[in-house]
Amino acid sequence: MKIYAAKDYKDMSRKAANLISAQVIMKPDAVLGLATGSTPVGAYEQLREWYEKGDLDFSRIRSVNLDEYKGLSGEHDQSYRYFMNHNLFDHVNIKKENTNVPSGLAEDAEAECARYDGVIRELGGIDLQLLGIGGNGHIGFNEPCDVFEKGTHVVTLTEETRRSNARFFSSIDEVPTHALTMGIGGIMGAKKVLLLASGEAKAKALYDSCFGPVTPGVPASILQLHNDAVIIADEAALAEIREKTGWEGDVYDN
């Protein structure tokens, strides 16, 4: 695990966009694993800017997103399909048919999960998987539990996650109770993983994930076993790591 310190959210976003750009330039038909939420918004904004300047070409890029709320259509403004279109896909030359997000409306959600794992397999796996982290250590919607779930699956969202995501909805009652999420096997199968963390609300989860035991109780801790996991975190998210390890530098090779 390599941890890179960023001054603030903007610096984290630019560093992340640089790594994603490098992937797009070095492998123009790369498979990007993408995430939603507040954390990657700045990185997507930066990518759009570099695309507009003519520095990036997404025409052969394929993508698979981590997750989707069960019950929301892609037109719902809180669905993750909508988020991706709005924050990235509508603004760059990626072909929509090359972008994949699990369907929140599939009648048979289990079959949709199996289909999604098939899509990832057919694409030949993920080259670079972008991740955020929940305050409880979740990645994708793999919530803390007793086992690491391997494949794409349906999850019941924890109260903590629903409360945290209620900020995007008009009330907590509107936050879906279930989601479809790529499993830990899908994430760990990516050739490279890039986890972003910003803000003090992530400081404990980030410390536990990087320095605590590898346990499904802290899903992101599994990344300690990935051989190319990169973390870019701003100073607020690094606070607990700084305090407990005494690390003062810019790069930590864990």
Residues forming the site for ligand F6R (CB under 6 A): 35-39, 66-67, 80, 132-134, 138-141
Annotated active-site residue in 65, 68, 87, 138:
138
The DSSP H or E segment spanning 230 is strand 229-234
Whichever of 57 and 160 has its CB closer to ligand F6R, that residue is: 160
138 is an active site residue: yes
Cβ-contact 223, 195 below 8 angstroms:
yes
DSSP 141-171: TB-S-SS---S-EEEEPPHHHHHHHGGGSSS
Annotated active-site residue in 65, 67, 149, 208:
67
Whichever of 57 and 166 has its CB closer to ligand F6R, that residue is: 166
Annotated active-site residue in 68, 127, 143, 149:
143
86 is an active site residue: no
Strands (E), the chain: 2-6, 31-34, 62-65, 67-69, 99-100, 128-131, 153-156, 178-181, 192-197, 229-234, 251-253
Minimum CB separation of residue 149 from ligand F6R in Å reads: 14
Whichever of 48 and 60 has its CB closer to ligand F6R, that residue is: 48
Minimum CB separation of residue 53 from ligand F6R in Å reads: 26
Q: Could you tell me which of 13, 9, 21, 11 has the C-alpha nearest to residue 56?
A: 21
Whichever of 92 and 186 has its CB closer to ligand F6R, that residue is: 186
Annotated active-site residue in 136, 149, 153, 240:
136
57 is an active site residue: no
Residues with active-site annotation: 67, 136, 138, 143
